[in-house]
Amino acid sequence: MEKYAAQTQQEFEGWEEFISKPVDEKVQNFIRQNRIYDVIYAQQFDRSFLDYLCSLADSIRLLAKTKVGQSKLRHLLPHKRAMLYFVQPSTRTFLSFQNACHILGITTSEIRGTSTSSEVKGESPEDTIRTFASYVDLIISRHPEAGFAEKTAWVLNQTDHPVPVLNGGSGPDQHPTQALLDIYTLEREFRTIGGLDGKKIAMVGDLKRGRTVRSLSYLMKNYQDVELVYVAPEIFRMKDDIKEFLSKHDIPFKETEDFESIMPEVDAIYMTRIQNEYGSDPTSEAETYPQFHLKTSHLSLIQTHCAILHPLPRRYEIDIRIDKDPRAAYWRQERCGMWIRAALISYIFGVDGEIMNELS
């Protein structure tokens, strides 16, 4: 007996026309009443939004330190329900979104694999998402397919019952809320040295298929005098679309395979793992690329203020003995994810003003 039915493919009128548009035009589709409604691409965020979200996250963080503050936060959105549709493996993004919802009093439900949803019966992902919108006020999705969140948000926006969609990772393509938490972490790590403006950031590892480095690169256009250094093995170099974006926005960048040579000159090192799940070439996949690992011997080469980030999960990219070094920011970064996601969700539901007033 056939266990799974083949997935139904649906053709949506207007979709082909929509996806062929440049991102600057597409973002209009995801805005309502002058506010971001669906969070799909990192290109949706401008500097004032990023600065505002970081200070909102700081306020939530501060309020959450006390019982009274936590209770205030929990009473902001107890009438809202969110669906976490995570059909690609996730620990941090799932938990940080779930806990961000709970901080604000939102009830959550979850699907963590297509095998327990009606997709097994052949239902299309678009119909599945539309079903969630019948029951909840917010959909947060993680999916192995590039463009998944974009399409489902677009489909929902054609219906008479849309709900906001937050992209928690769409294949090797984008991870916009990870980029938000990366910015929040960098701004905090550089708080006493002028923030992210004017800094030089190295991104290291599988830049070709890592969605975090792609989304974070897009956000660099919002900062003054930032320089990027892409450090990757030849086969995992950053794709041309991002490099063209950087050139268009006059963001200086260079590429190298010599990690050690650039260590003394950068203000932050953003490590990533090899994204084997998207791989097809078994020889290259078997390699761990040790020249692109951060080792304890490197700690004397990097600057005293250099922030070490990693979206996690890590394998061998960062020696665990580095965790004790004050420059290791990745565990702080993980926690930043929960605060910035709580900030984003409060903004989406328009209760951000109440949070800011609480502390003014």
Q: 179-214: buried (b, 16+ CB within 10 Å) or exposed (e) per residue?
A: bbbbbbbbbbbbeeeebbeebbbbbbbbbbbbbbbb
Interface with ligand NCD (CB under 6 A), residue total 12
Q: How far is the CB of 265 from ligand NCD (least distance, A)?
A: 25
Q: Which uninterrupted H or E stretch holds 219? A: helix 211-219
Among residues 211 and 293, whose Cβ is nearest to ligand NCD?
Answer: 211
Cα angle 213-18-133, degrees, rounded to a multiple of 5: 80
- Amino acid residing at 25: E
Among residues 82 and 312, whose Cβ is nearest to ligand NCD?
Answer: 312
* Whether 304 is catalytic: no
* Using rule CB under 6 A, residue 93 touches ligand NCD: yes
Place of tokens 């990027």: 228
* Whether 93 is catalytic: yes
The single residue of 75, 121, 254, 321 carrying the catalytic annotation is 121
Using a 10 angstrom Cβ sphere, with 0-12 exposed, 13-18 middle and 19 or more buried, the burial of residue 320 is: exposed
How remote is the C-alpha of 182 from its chain's centroid?
Answer: 8
CB 201 within 8 A of CB 229: yes
Cis ω for the linkage preceding 313 (within 30 of 0): yes
The single residue of 26, 61, 93, 209 carrying the catalytic annotation is 93
Phi, psi of 48 (to 5 degrees): -65, -35
Strand extents, DSSP E, the chain: 31-32, 35-36, 81-86, 107-111, 138-143, 165-170, 200-204, 227-231, 253-256, 268-271, 307-309
Q: How far is the CB of 211 from ligand NCD (least distance, A)?
A: 5
- What character string, x for contact with ligand NCD (CB under 6 A) and - otherwise, covers 286-325? -------------------------xxx------------
* Using rule CB under 6 A, residue 211 touches ligand NCD: yes
Among residues 92 and 243, whose Cβ is nearest to ligand NCD?
Answer: 92
* Whether 121 is catalytic: yes
Among residues 26 and 211, whose Cβ is nearest to ligand NCD?
Answer: 211
* Using rule CB under 6 A, residue 273 touches ligand NCD: yes
- Please identify the residue of the shown chain whose CB is closest to the bound ligand NCD: 311
CB 111 within 8 A of CB 84: yes
Among 141, 185, 212, 346, binds ligand NCD (CB under 6 A): 212
Q: How far is the CB of 91 from ligand NCD (least distance, A)?
A: 8
Among residues 80 and 143, whose Cβ is nearest to ligand NCD?
Answer: 143
Among 128, 178, 185, 333, binds ligand NCD (CB under 6 A): 178
Which residues have a catalytic role annotated?
A: 92-93, 121, 142, 175
Contact positions toward ligand NCD, by CB under 6 A? 92-93, 169, 175, 178, 211-212, 272-273, 311-313
